[in-house]
Structure formats: C-alpha cells, structure tokens
Amino acid sequence: MNRTLTMDDLVIPGIWLAAGLLAAFLLRMLLRWLGKHADRTRWSGDDLIVDVLRTVVPWAAFLGGAASAGAALPLTRTVQHNVNQVLTVVLIFVVTLTAARGIAGLMRTVTQSRPGVAGSATIFVNITRILILAIGFLVVLQTLGISIAPLLTALGVGGLAVALALQDTLANLFAGIHILASKTVQPGDYIKLASGEEGYVEDINWRQTTVRALSNNLIVIPNGELAKTNMTNFMRPEQELTILVQVGVAYDSDLDHVERVTNEVIGEVMTEVEGAVQDHEPIIRFHTFGDSRIGFTVILGVGEFSDQYRIKHEFIKRLHRRYRKEGISIPAPTRTVAIQQGTVAIPQQRIPEEADGMAPVRLD
C-alpha cells in the first residue's frame, strides 16, 4: 500500500492496541492479587508460578493486541511480515528470560527444601540459565530465518579451541559438578582440608568453593584442588558428632567416686548447655597410669562442629568446680630428674657489697 494512512485507518488498530494494554493491566492486577494469596500458602511453588505468569501473561496480552493492531492496518505483505517477526522475537525474548528466572528459582526451591541435596545450587542454576538463554537465542535466529546449522558447526569446531585454552577453568567447572553430584560436600558442611584450611562451605560455583572460617574470614579454594585433596567432612554422614576430653586424677582417688561425679557433671552439661545432645549416653574410659595421674577420656555428644567449643568450656569449668567440692585432686604434671653426684659450678658474678654479703655458690 502506497497511500497515506487516514484517521479511519488508525481507529480499529488503536482500539486493538488499547485493548491489549487494558488486558495487560487487568491481568497484572489479577496476578498480583493471586500472588498475595499464594504468599499465605505453605507451598512455595505457587509463588514461583504466579511470579512467572505475572511477567509473561501481561506481555503476551500486550503483544497480542499489537499484533492485532498491525493486522488491522493496511500494510504491505513485507511490512506486515516484519512487524509480526519483531513482535514474535520480543515475545520469545520475554519468555526466555522468564523461563530462565523461573527454572532457576524452582531449582533453588527444590534443593533448599530437601535434606541431602545441594543447599546452594549456584553452579547448576548458572548452567541451566545459560542453556535456556542459548536455546532462546537459537529460536530467535530460526524465527528470523537465519540457519543455525552452520552456527552449530562453527561452535563445535571453535569449542575445541576454547576447551584447550580453558583447561583449568573447565577442570574446575566439572570438579564442582562432580562434588555436588556426589554429595560428598554440600554448602553448610564443616570441612577440614589436609593443608589445614577449615570452615563452613558457603557456596560452590562454577570455578571455586568458598569456605567461611570460624574467624569469619572467607577462604577461596579452586574446585579442582578441593576434589584432589584429602578432606574431612564433619557434617556427614551425620551432623551430630562426639568429642573427646582428656582428664586425669591423683593415684589416691576413689575411681568409682570419680566416675560417678563425672557422670553427674556430664548429665548437667548435656541437659543445660545449648548444642549438646541430650540423649547422649555418658561415656568414661580410664586408660593410662601416667607419671603423676590416672588418665581417662570423657566422650561428649555435640549437635554440630562449632558447638564443641562451648560444650568443652562449660564441661571443664563445671568439672573443676565439682572436683574441688568433692575433694578430688587433679595433680599437676611432675617429673623426677636424677642428677649425677659431682660438682656443679655457678659462674662467679660481681655483687655489690650492699647485697648482704652474698658470695658465689658451689654445689658439691
């Protein structure tokens, strides 16, 4: 069409465009109302569904109105085709971004609600988001009439060169996937490496694992190094663990009385101190005739790794106070040193006369 558009030509398209805008506004208000009701439910999946629909549905209504308006205009076939392509690309773009956000949120919801699954799935979320965006990009190219077969071939050939250039990065990526998939380490676990680093795992992403030490400092470990090193996970297979406290009493102590008093203190600590395992059975094992004491081990149950410091603190204070009350002696370590008979000379020093006339000492 070569003639100039008149007001009569714009009335119906304007009505369609206004109808699309109105439908988008009303649908957004409806979905916002549904979102408030979804917040009251215990299931978090409905919140995610409403959030996705709140983005896609209004855009679809608006673009549908725009497409109807374009169809009502007296446009040439080429212009009409171009308008439809542009609107389709915009819709694919919106759907792709919304799908990437929605599926990433779904993965976080699922992993956080299930014990034994990755509490933080950053690496999986990022990979999924990239895949969805790549698929959306390919769909856009196909919609525009651009063949994607040569592009996929070029990506396959170029991927080899990229893989060789990024060996360390890819090694860290696949090491992170292996760590999470094998469930040997999950965010929230307390780990200790053979090299000495220890702390709570904060996150495992595509390149590195972040560990928060008890001093609240962050330790960054490449995934490849974490996969190769020897490591102790204090949260698996169970979060609860036992700790050992070494104690010693004098040889003249009544060991039955010592055991009974220690059991009472253990019971108090397990019941009153936060982080202790209340149903833990008190365990005391005498094991050593030492130089100055009879040694024994007390085994305590703690809820998780960092609780041990508070429990040890309270146990030692209460046990020491109770032993003093009961008259149970905890002797200090002593050692007898035999000195061969002879003369030990102490170097002579000049001492002022005011120093009470003290003279050098000679031991025979």
Same domain, 130 and 24: yes
Specify if 344 maps to a domain.
Answer: no
Specify if 70 maps to a domain.
Answer: yes
Same domain, 28 and 131: yes
d(C-alpha 24, C-alpha 341), whole Å: 105
> What is the model's pLDDT at position 335?
61
Same domain, 278 and 306: yes
d(C-alpha 141, C-alpha 150), whole Å: 12
Ramachandran angles phi, psi of 254, nearest 5°: -80, 110
Specify if 320 maps to a domain.
Answer: yes
Q: What is the pTM of this model?
A: 0.51
| Total domains present in the chain | 3
Beta-carbon contacts of residue 109 (< 8 Å; ≥ 6 apart): 44, 45, 48
> What is the model's pLDDT at position 361?
40
d(C-alpha 175, C-alpha 225), whole Å: 9
Give the CATH number for residue 195.
2.30.30.60
Same domain, 122 and 15: yes
Specify if 345 maps to a domain.
Answer: no
b (16+ CB within 10 A) / e for 225-253: ebbeeebeebbeeeeebebebebbbeeeb
Specify if 128 maps to a domain.
Answer: yes
Tell me which of 198, 214, 233 is where a domain ends: 233
Same domain, 13 and 134: yes
What would the 3-class secondary structure string for 303-325 be? CCCCHHHHHHHHHHHHHHHHHHH
Same domain, 21 and 71: yes
> What is the model's pLDDT at position 363?
36
Reference 328, options 268, 271, 243, 256; nearest CA is 256
Which ranges of 114-195 does DSSP label H, i.e. alpha helix? 122-143, 149-165, 167-182
Give average pLDDT by consecutive 10-residue segment, the chain, 364 residues.
60 82 86 77 71 81 82 77 83 85 72 48 71 83 76 66 64 77 81 88 83 88 85 83 90 92 91 84 89 90 86 92 90 64 49 42 38
Specify if 92 maps to a domain.
Answer: yes
Q: Is the dihedral of CA 311, 313, 317, 320 positive or negative?
A: positive
> What is the model's pLDDT at position 349?
46
Ramachandran angles phi, psi of 201, nearest 5°: -75, 120
> What is the model's pLDDT at position 350?
45
Same domain, 270 and 210: no
Q: For residue 361, what is the enclosing H or E element? A: none
Specify if 166 maps to a domain.
Answer: no
Same domain, 16 and 140: yes
Same domain, 316 and 286: yes
d(C-alpha 35, C-alpha 53), whole Å: 10
Specify if 151 maps to a domain.
Answer: no
Same domain, 312 and 228: no
d(C-alpha 53, C-alpha 103), whole Å: 13
Using DSSP's 3-state secondary structure scheme, residue 353 falls into coil
Same domain, 209 and 253: no
Query: Domain limits at 222?
Result: 183-233
Evaluate whether 173 touches 206 at the Cβ level (below 8 Å).
yes
Same domain, 127 and 36: yes
Tell me which of 206, 233, 260 is where a domain ends: 233
Give the CATH number for residue 251.
3.30.70.100
Q: Put residue 360 in one of left, alpha, beta given phi > 0 → left and psi -120 to 50 → alpha.
A: beta
